[in-house]
A and B are shown apart, each in its own frame.
Chain A
């Protein structure tokens, strides 16, 4: 699948967020929140997607529940949005599980299976019958027929059919999930198993009905700003490719939302680079065959939950978010910190880090600008107090982390980077193999990014991939490189 394909579901999700923010800023948050589904689908409005206006409203209501940061699974249908808005306002901290599934929006897709279409010609060669290892295919009345009791959904028959007459019917969320954490439950609707889920966000992007939502913390952040707290934004490097403005204008625009200051997470990435380069040298000097990076939260959760044997090979260096939050809390102990994220996974990481109070994704930030009518391109420029290096700002691009670490390595201990550009079933098998063998024949520094394209391909990004890459690269090229004097000594 191409990265960041345009989707109508994103439009709906973002519209809900804008309306929630507007309603928070209005004089009657609870009532105006209750009215959101009715404002979006008033009496007599066309019914663009579903069977009737009532179903459209019911789904919009559930999308608003997710926007309020609540689990749709835990709320009862009888609870009014106004009651839930109050609940969101009163909570002390965000809920733990970062995703929620809208059963109303979930279509309950046809179960994944192999299907023989009418294109089957009942040929003489019958490669499908011969290829099937399970004896599940027979020819009846001149057509191939699959016995569902024997079929294991391996898809071999579909691959060999000369007419492409056999199709694999997929459930997009199940198909996208690299760890088998989302599946249709007994009722036919998708359910997430959070014991297995690595928060990579692939199901969010994959569902054509937009039935998987991130639980937003926007209300919590708005509440803190309204209460006059010193709220500080920490923006992950990928954001610099997301909106039609300069990084300095973006800083000013974020301050106009009510943030006291904005830190680039690239600042923390500089600490990650130095620490990780030193760690790489030390590990290799002690005979290690390879090391993997540790800055992608989705990958970290993958290792913790599914590849524990990889733990000894994963760098112990903390993430750029970790170091940035540490710096901010040291400089401003009274501050409320908000991480601006391109993906779901950082929500999980933030929950485990006391220095990060909240997480907003780029869609939520974009919606906030819309709600306040802020034209980012017309904002004045505001400078960052600490400038990060070009290498750190390039962390958001696949290959960027390995490249940064390489810059600081001594000549005697060169890195041979291996880039895992997106987690999927194949790349997970590869990683398991490297961990089991204790070596990787392709190189010694494995950079793992859960998303294809790196953070710029995150599930909650706003800009299309190509222009985002171009914009970010311009910023990287205009930044100072790491100095050779900072190289790690052997």
Chain B
């Protein structure tokens, strides 16, 4: 089976940025170093998740494929990537 690359989108919209994705920018450098070409990582404009209701309080958001990571931290994102990779190997 062809392995599909995992896509990681770090939201750099204003809300996410102020609520903490400023500190997730390091992922853009560290993820390729750690996972090579298995994972695509990029900073993206507002994903639109913060504007729903009062959901700004759950920012910053990161999307790992279709999975939304709320109140994202570097550790949470790496964990989500590892889980996806483990699923692919099955």
Contact = CB atoms under 8 A, between A and B. Distances in A.
B14 A244 contact: yes
A379 to B, nearest CB: 10
A363 B20 CA distance: 11
Interface in A8-25: 10-11, 14-15, 18
B23 interface: yes
A377 interface: yes
A360 B84 CA distance: 42
Contact of A374 (B14, B23, B57, B74): B14
Contacts of A370: 14-15, 18-19, 50, 56
Interface of A is mostly: helix
A463 B22 contact: yes
A15 to B, nearest CB: 5
Contacts of A14: 18-19
A334 interface: no
Given A11-B19, A11-B71, A373-B51, A243 B14 contact: yes
B89 to A, nearest CB: 31
Contact of B57 (A15, A376, A463, A467): A15
B18 A367 contact: yes
Interface size class of A (residues with CB under 8 A): 20 to 34
A6 B57 CA distance: 16
A18 B25 contact: no
A366 interface: yes
B23 A377 contact: no
B25 A376 contact: no
Given A6-B23, A464-B25, A18 B14 contact: no
Contacts of A373: 51
Contacts of B71: 11
Interface in A28-82: 39-40
Contacts of A462: 17-18, 22
Interface string B1-40: 0000000000011110111101101100000000000000
B15 to A, nearest CB: 5
A457 B22 CA distance: 14
B45 A467 contact: no
Given A18-B56, A467-B25, A377 B13 contact: yes
A248 interface: no
18 contacts: A6-B23, A6-B73, A6-B74, A11-B19, A15-B19, A244-B14, A244-B17, A366-B14, A366-B17, A366-B18, A369-B14, A369-B15, A370-B14, A370-B15, A370-B19, A370-B50, A377-B14, A463-B22
Interface of B: 12-15, 17-20, 22-23, 25-26, 43, 45-46, 50-51, 54, 56-57, 71, 73-74
> What are the 3 A-B residue pairs with the smallest beta carbon separation, nearest first?
A366-B18, A6-B23, A463-B22
